[in-house]
Structures are given as C-alpha cells and as structure tokens.
C-alpha cells in the first residue's frame, strides 16, 4: 500500500502514510530526528540542509501546532516557507484541488505540506504532482497523520527505549481519528507487544481489529497494565451526531483521571496529540502531572518534521543518522 511514497530506488519521496513503510525507515527517521533535537539550544538554530528550497504549507483545515511546527521545521532547515491557510468552503465552491496544485507547481516550489479534511487528499496530490515535488501529509481526513505518529514514536522511544515489550492503549474517538490509525500502523511496524484501542462502540470503526489491535469498551480493562496511554481529542460535534450523550458522561466513562491511571503500569506515560480538552478526555491533574509527556511531544514535533522533510528532499541519506 502507498508504494507511491517511495521512488524507483526505494527511497522516501513523499510522506503520506505509515502503512506500507518498513521498520528500518521508521527507525531511520527517529535517528535523524534525534540529531536535530538540540538545534534549538544552539546560538544559530539553523542547519543549511534545505537552503534554496521552497516549502509550501497548504492547510485546508485550521491548525496551530502542526502548521507552526512544520513552518519552524522548514525554517530551521533553511528553506523558504510559504503558508496558505485555505478556507475549505471557498475551495469546494470554487477552485478545484487539482487546479490549485497546478498553480502552485507553476511557482517552482519543492515541497507541499498538506492538511485536508478529505481522506486520501495527500495521496491524491502525490498521484498528480510534478515529479520533482515532494508531498508531506500533515493530516488527511480520518485517514492518516504520519508525522504525528512519528513524533509519538519518538517520544515513546525517549521514555521507554525499546518498543518490543510495550503494551500501548489508544483511548477515545478511534472512528474519526487519523492519529489513531497512523499510530496503530507505526506501533505494529516497530513491533510493540500489544496495541489496544479503548472507546465506546459508537467510536470504534468496523474491522479495526484487522489493523492489529485489541478492542476494549471499558477504560479500566483497556488500561490494565499498559506502558503507554495515548489519549485522543474528542470533538464537540460527536455529541451532535448522536454518538455520545454528553461530554460529562464521556468523561465519567472514558476520561483519564488519576484513579483510572492507577490500573496502568506504574511507569506508564500519558500522551495526547493536542489540543487537549481538559475535563472531557483528560483530567487536568493527569495532563499536567508527572506521567504526562504531552509538552515533550510538542517539542519533538519540530525535530521529527525536520527529519521527514530533509529525507523526502534527499538532503540527508536514509542510512546517515549522524
């Protein structure tokens, strides 16, 4: 699946989806990200790897943290970065995505970072873009958010070292979550011992087990003994579409509180892709507590995105992690 991510030599060309990538490549991305991690502590917070390259951020959905970390990542690699925040309603009525793509191509850019509410939008761009341009998926509908998954893997490795013995629970709106899907693929490719998803039946998509997860409808059973907990954001719209009765009831059953956390492994870490809804999916005391690595995730986001951008444009070789 998604072999269009790789070029003829099997090198990463577009970064669209974790599914279909191999363990070696994922580890390589983590290693290269490691080498970028301390750039922001230096006096000159830049490396010249993408000097002369132009990166375009195309955000069809609102985003603060993903867009700014991509922008920062591009700038720290010395690329020129353009930001387009496109109101989706105006494009659906007017310019087609393919026309926008052609127009941007004419500006001689080297990379498009795209976030779009349609699953497969990044794949679509990669299928139709001029051959010299790389596409990075910054989130497509409910399909994939591969850089988020990689920064999550990076954070897990920082805290846990080895993936093999880990039991990981992903809790919340699995149905609508691209983060969940990409994390499930990444965790399985990196060979963790177990991936669980925890949610009410209304938020579990059909056949999710085939992606290599165990399904739990009960939070305490789902968290029992796990080493890593990945909480997902619950969108308010879910109450409108009759998937849940209320945010309050959701918090009662699936909110991560100190008490719920007790059943997990004593060293378990708590993650969240942000932005967090305090008192909806997670209690403030947990989000700000000693087990939380949420801010560490944000910090890692820049390094991971630098790694993915540099590899996709061939600025670092995939083996060279130093």
Partner 1 sequence: MDTISIIEGRVIDPATNLDLVTDLHIADGKIIAIGNAPADFTAAKEINAKNKIVCPGFIDLSVRLREPGAEYKATIRSETEAAAKNGITTVCCPPDTDPVIDSPAIAELLQQRSAKAGMAKVLPLAALTKGLKGEHLAEMGILKQAGCIAVSDVRPIVNTNVLRHALEYAATCDLTVFLHPIDPWLGNSGCAHEGVVSTRLGLTAIPEQTETIAVARDLLLVENSGVRAHFCRLSSGKSVEMIQQAQDKGLAVTADVSIHHLLLSDIDIHLYDSQCKVCPPLRSSLDKQALGDGLKNNIINAICSDHQPHEAEAKLNPFSMAAAGISGLDTLLPQCLRFAEQMGMDLITILSYLTEKPAAILGIDAGTLQVGKVADICIFDPNKNWTLNQDTMYSMGKNSPFFGQELKAKVYFTIINGKVVYEYL
Least separation in angstroms between CB 98 and partner 1 = 5
Distance CA 156, CA 152 (A): 6
Residue 188 binds partner 1 (CB under 8 A): no
Instruction: Using the minimum distance from each CB to partner 1, give the nearer residue, 13 or 178.
Output: 178
First to last CA, the chain: 30
Instruction: Using the minimum distance from each CB to partner 1, give the nearer residue, 241 or 252.
Output: 241
Residue 102 binds partner 1 (CB under 8 A): no
Q: Looking at 24-32, 91-99, 147-155, 282-290, which segment touches partner 1 (CB under 8 A)?
A: 91-99
Ramachandran quadrant class, 212 (left: phi over 0; alpha: psi -120 to 50; beta: rest):
left
Distance CA 272, CA 113 (A): 22
Q: Scan for tokens 């990444």, then name that residue.
A: 186
Q: How many CB atoms lie within 10 A of CB 35?
A: 17
Residue 151 binds partner 1 (CB under 8 A): no
Q: Are 222 and 253 in contact (CB under 8 A)?
A: no
Distance CA 41, CA 95 (A): 42
Instruction: Using the minimum distance from each CB to partner 1, give the nearer residue, 128 or 132.
Output: 128
Give strand ranges (E) for 187-264.
Answer: 194-198, 214-216, 228-231
Least separation in angstroms between CB 82 and partner 1 = 22
Q: Looking at 35-43, 45-53, 139-147, 150-158, which segment touches partner 1 (CB under 8 A)?
A: 139-147
Q: Are 187 and 213 in contact (CB under 8 A)?
A: no
Q: Are 188 and 155 in contact (CB under 8 A)?
A: no
Among 24, 38, 96, 249, binds partner 1 (CB under 8 A): 96
Residue 1 binds partner 1 (CB under 8 A): yes
Residue 308 binds partner 1 (CB under 8 A): no
Q: Looking at 25-33, 137-145, 158-166, 299-307, which segment touches partner 1 (CB under 8 A)?
A: 137-145
Bond preceding residue 275 cis, omega within 30 of 0: yes
Residue 142 binds partner 1 (CB under 8 A): yes
List interacting residues with partner 1 (CB under 8 A).
1-2, 4, 19, 92, 96-98, 116, 118-121, 123-124, 127-128, 140-144, 178, 181, 205-208, 210-211
């Amino acid at each position: 699946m998604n072999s269009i991510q790789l070029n003829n030599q099997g090198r990463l060309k577009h970064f669209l989806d974790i599914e279909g990538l191999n363990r070696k490549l994922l580890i390589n991305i983590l290693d290269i990200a490691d080498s970028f991690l301390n750039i922001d502590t230096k006096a000159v917070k830049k490396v010249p790897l993408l000097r002369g390259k132009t990166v375009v951020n195309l955000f069809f959905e609102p985003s603060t943290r993903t867009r700014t970390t991509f922008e920062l990542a591009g700038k720290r690699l010395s690329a020129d970065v353009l930001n387009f925040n496109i109101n989706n309603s105006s494009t659906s009525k007017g310019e087609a995505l393919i026309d926008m793509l052609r127009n941007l191509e004419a500006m001689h850019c080297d990379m498009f970072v795209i976030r779009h509410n349609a699953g497969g939008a990044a794949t679509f761009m990669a299928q139709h873009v001029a051959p010299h341009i790389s596409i990075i998926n910054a989130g497509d509908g409910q399909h994939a958010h591969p850089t988020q998954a990689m920064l999550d893997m990076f954070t897990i490795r920082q805290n846990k070292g080895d993936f093999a013995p880990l039991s990981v629970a992903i809790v919340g709106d699995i149905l609508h979550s691209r983060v969940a899907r990409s994390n499930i693929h990444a965790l399985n490719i990196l060979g963790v011992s177990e991936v669980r998803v925890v949610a009410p039946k209304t938020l579990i998509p059909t056949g999710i087990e085939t992606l290599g997860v165990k399904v739990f409808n009960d939070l305490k059973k789902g968290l029992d003994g796990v080493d890593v907990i990945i909480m997902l954001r619950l969108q308010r719209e879910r109450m409108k579409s009759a998937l849940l009765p209320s945010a309050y009831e959701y918090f009662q059953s699936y909110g991560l509180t100190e008490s719920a956390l007790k059943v997990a492994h004593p060293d378990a870490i708590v993650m969240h892709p942000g932005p967090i809804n305090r008192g909806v999916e997670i209690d403030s005391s947990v989000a700000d507590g000693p087990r939380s690595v949420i801010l560490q995730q944000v910090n890692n986001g820049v390094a991971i995105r630098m790694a993915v951008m540099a590899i996709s444009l061939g600025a670092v070789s995939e083996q060279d992690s130093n």
